[in-house]
Amino acid sequence: MPNFAAMNNKVKGYILGTVAAATYGMNPLFALPLYAGGMDADSVLFFRYLFAIPILGAMIKMRGRSFAIQPRPALALVAMGIMMAFSSLFLFQSYNYMDAGIASSLLFVYPVMVAVMMTCVFHERLTIITILCMALALGGIGLLYNGENGVTLSLTGTIMVFLSALTYAVYIVFINRSRLNSLPTVKVTFYVLLFGWVVFAIRLIASGTIALPAQWYLWGNLVALAIFPTAISLLCTTRAIQYIGSPSHTRGARACYGCNHRYHGVRRKAHTTLRNRYRTDNSSSHPGRGRRFRGQTSHAAPQTLPPHQTPEALTGGRLRPSHANTLG
């Protein structure tokens, strides 16, 4: 029978993945007006992460969860925060070299990179659907090579977009394959944004300048960047990974474990009852020999069971003759 619970989780994962991609694609919508107002990539990303952190922190408190993390997950979260920060930085820097719409479209080569990593590093089998999706994605990228009026894409901008996609793909694979996959989604996202914000704070301190929005209403763009392509997108991405990438073989293993202990039409329970009874009787006759091991023989006298406790009686007459005398 199909595993409906796993199927529902996959559907949830696909929906969340779609929402994550759609909201992450809103970056140019809110970032370009800020660029036009005189802000640079580091300043935009500094405020983007800064405004998103309290949103995630409030969600953690509302759910009654602790902010505490263990040292090992903390180190992994630091690495993921740095990875996500540079993914955002490469993407936002590419807007200075090429059309933002094309850059955001090229970014979606990251699913191909994830599939390649999972195949080459973790030896996952590529399905026909995965190969077809990879071919369509690469074909779409090829069609974008010629921009408007036949102008080819900027090499610098293209490299930055591919670096952004690569770091984002590494982030996804690491979240899927590390212990972070078992942590609460909100907590993972909170610390990823916190440590990512530290990267931009250090860069701005090193540069000695920070740009502010030229108009008051552009602060709304920063808040929108913090909500949609940051908080919502990363939450949905992490949760989708936990739904789709969570191991499903444990349920099958449990089912097989139950099936493999039915043999010759007899449940394990009946044999366990007889075996335990035999070990108890044998232990009382010979202390220290309550359990029989392979290659050892017991010198206990044969135990005679009452008629109502024979194997046939305990198993309802379903015990085959070849097992009728086997009690241990």
Contacts 24+ apart (CB under 8 A), 247-255: 248/3, 248/6, 251/3, 251/5, 251/6, 252/3
Residue 64, phi-psi category: left (phi > 0), alpha (psi -120 to 50), beta (remainder): left
| Residue 202 predicted with pLDDT over 90 | yes
**Going by C-beta distance under 8 Å and a sequence separation of 6 or more, which residues neighbour residue 40?**
211
Q: What is the pLDDT of residues 53-68, one digit of tens each?
A: 999 999 999 999 999 9
Q: How far apart are CA 213 and CA 284, in angstroms?
A: 86
| Residue 267 predicted with pLDDT over 70 | no
List the single range of 55-64, 85-94, 133-142, 197-206 with lowest mean pLDDT: 133-142
Q: What is the pLDDT of residues 272-323, one digit of tens each?
A: 444 444 444 444 444 544 444 444 444 555 555 555 555 555 555 544 444 4
Q: What is the pLDDT of residues 96-112, one digit of tens each?
A: 999 888 898 889 889 88
Res 102: pLDDT: 87
Q: How far apart are CA 93 and CA 97, in angstroms?
A: 8
Res 253: pLDDT: 32
| Residue 118 predicted with pLDDT over 50 | yes
> Could you give the C-alpha distances from 24 to 30, 64, 71, in angstroms and in order?
11, 28, 30
| Residue 198 predicted with pLDDT over 90 | yes
Residue 111, token pair as written in the block: 């699913």
Residue predicted with more confidence, 156 or 316: 156
Res 146: pLDDT: 61
